[in-house]
Copies of this chain bind each other. A is one copy, B any other.
């Protein structure tokens, strides 16, 4: 029962409809990547799957609903990252662990950046549902990061005036933003590897205090 899929009016839908809905979601993700949220049109989405706007509204009340669902799917891919964030990064292996996390985050980002960007915009513009989605997505990661900071503070490697949760947010911010900047920074001579290294060092420093 849990894996029932619903139409916009709430009724349970069958296999054909599930497939159509899925194609709509995929087309939405594709166009979001290619054209950005500002030029995303329902007509384009349905044209892309060889259908008509009316079909879209069978399954979603508006485009937001489709994007929100994509954002929730992205969140599922984010959860495994938490396993790379256990307290205990030490001088010997910590930097390498930071690298592992950065690498995993880069892969995650690359496959969902358009959807995540849309989610963050909606959240920042005050949309309740997208706020909740972002909060939920970041919660596990933020808590894991905050726990690492707390450990550093307790071990007196980090100043106790540091707020763990804010630091966690800063770390997430660095990751997201540097990856978004990437293409532009490449032009200024900072290649992907420099970004990867620098990010790992900054993470390692901010989280452990080493």
Q: Could you tell me the distance between the alpha carbons of A38 and B170 in the complex, rounded to whole angstroms?
A: 26
Q: Is the CB of B37 within 8 A of A38?
A: yes
Please, how many residues of chain A have a CB less than 8 angstroms from a CB on the other chain? 44
Q: Which residues of B contact A37 (CB under 8 A)?
A: 38, 121, 125
- The residue of chain B having its C-beta at the shortest distance from the C-beta of A39 within the complex is B125
A-side binding surface: helix, strand, loop or mixed?
A: helix
Min CB gap A197→B, angstroms: 6
Q: Is the CB of B202 within 8 A of A189?
A: no
The copy count of this chain in the complex is 2
Q: Is the CB of A161 within 8 A of B121?
A: no
- The residue of chain B having its C-beta at the shortest distance from the C-beta of A135 within the complex is B184
Contact of A180 among B124, B163, B174 (CB under 8 A): B124
Whether A82 sits at the interface, judged by CB under 8 Å, is no
Q: List 12 A-B contacts (CB under 8 A).
A: A37-B38, A37-B125, A124-B180, A162-B198, A165-B188, A169-B178, A170-B198, A170-B202, A173-B176, A176-B177, A205-B206, A206-B206
User: Could you list 17 further interchain pairs (A-B, Cβ under 8 angstroms) beyond the known A163-B190, A166-B195, A173-B181?
Assistant: A36-B125, A38-B122, A38-B125, A117-B125, A134-B184, A162-B201, A162-B202, A165-B188, A165-B189, A166-B198, A169-B177, A170-B177, A170-B178, A172-B177, A174-B174, A176-B177, A205-B206
